Amino acid sequence: MKQNVPLSGIGDGTRRFADMAIVGRLANVIKDTRLDCECRSRLDETLARFAALEIRRAAREHLANARSQRERIEAILFFLQDIDEMGATERDRSVYLDVALLFDDIANTAKEGAYSMRQLSLSPVQTGP
């Protein structure tokens, strides 16, 4: 039942998409107890269903995050249109820094979206008919 789902995203490391390691550890503890009751199979099925639901939830969150990053990039691109009206001899040199920061935002946002899509590509989610 072990899943290779990372425990943190990029950046500050506080985002957690799926704690599948916890589900795996719980399953191992239950397995080690050697339950001899009828409920053992039901418990195994329940854990498997829970794990599948968590994997699907994480996949949906990755896709939603990637879409959100795309929307953010679209918004930043709107502000970058001002670059067409700029010259190389702008009196206020800080506008160049502002544009550079917009490009930095796009790069960081793209990295975040790429991370989510890579995690989605590793997801064991089964495709439906």
CA-CA distances (angstroms) from residue 114 to 13, 71, 122? 16, 14, 12
Question: What's the count of helices (H) and strands (E) in the chain, helices before strands?
Answer: 3, 0
Do 1 and 23 form a contact (C-beta atoms < 8 A)? Answer: yes
User: Length of the chain, please?
Assistant: 129
Distance CA 111, CA 115 (A): 6
Mean pLDDT across the chain, nearest whole number? Answer: 81
Q: Which of 125, 129, 126, 127 is nearest to 58 (CA)?
A: 125
Domain boundaries, the chain: 20-122
Mean pLDDT of 71-87: 96
Q: What is the pLDDT of residues 4-28, one digit of tens each?
A: 444 345 443 334 444 667 777 777 7
pLDDT for residue 19: 61
Q: What is the pLDDT of residues 97-123, one digit of tens each?
A: 999 999 999 999 999 999 999 999 988
Q: What is the pTM of this model?
A: 0.70
